[in-house]
Amino acid sequence: GRSVSCHCLIEAAKQLQPDALVIVGTRRASPARMNRCARMIVASRLSWPLFVGGSVLTRRDAPLIPGVHLPQSLVASAERIEKAVTG
């Protein structure tokens, strides 16, 4: 959630070794905050794919945010993530 800092997310990922990282922003989230967090994740050189999505990704902001952009459909997003992590 918004109360979880990007630093904590990165540290948890290092400890838990997930198959992928997914950050999703709702309408209340800031595209700038999502952008900063995505860039921090990329800069930390974690070896897992980064997926970003949610209603915060407008056509104007999406090109600025690194990561694999997820479709608006939850089902389509889940399928895209599963395909990426399972091959």
Give the pLDDT confidence of 10-30 residue by residue, as tens digits. Answer: 999 999 999 999 998 876 777
Q: Tell me what pLDDT residue 63 has.
A: 83
| Spatial CA neighbour of 37 closest among 71, 46, 73 | 46
| CA 42 – CA 25 distance, rounded (Å) | 17
Q: Tell me what pLDDT residue 13 has.
A: 93
Q: Tell me what pLDDT residue 2 has.
A: 64
| CA 56 – CA 52 distance, rounded (Å) | 10
| Phi, psi (deg, nearest 5) at residue 59 | -60, -30
For residue range 25-82, what is the model confidence (pLDDT) as tens digits?
876 777 888 889 999 999 999 888 999 988 878 778 788 889 999 988 889 999 999 9
Q: Tell me what pLDDT residue 43 has.
A: 94
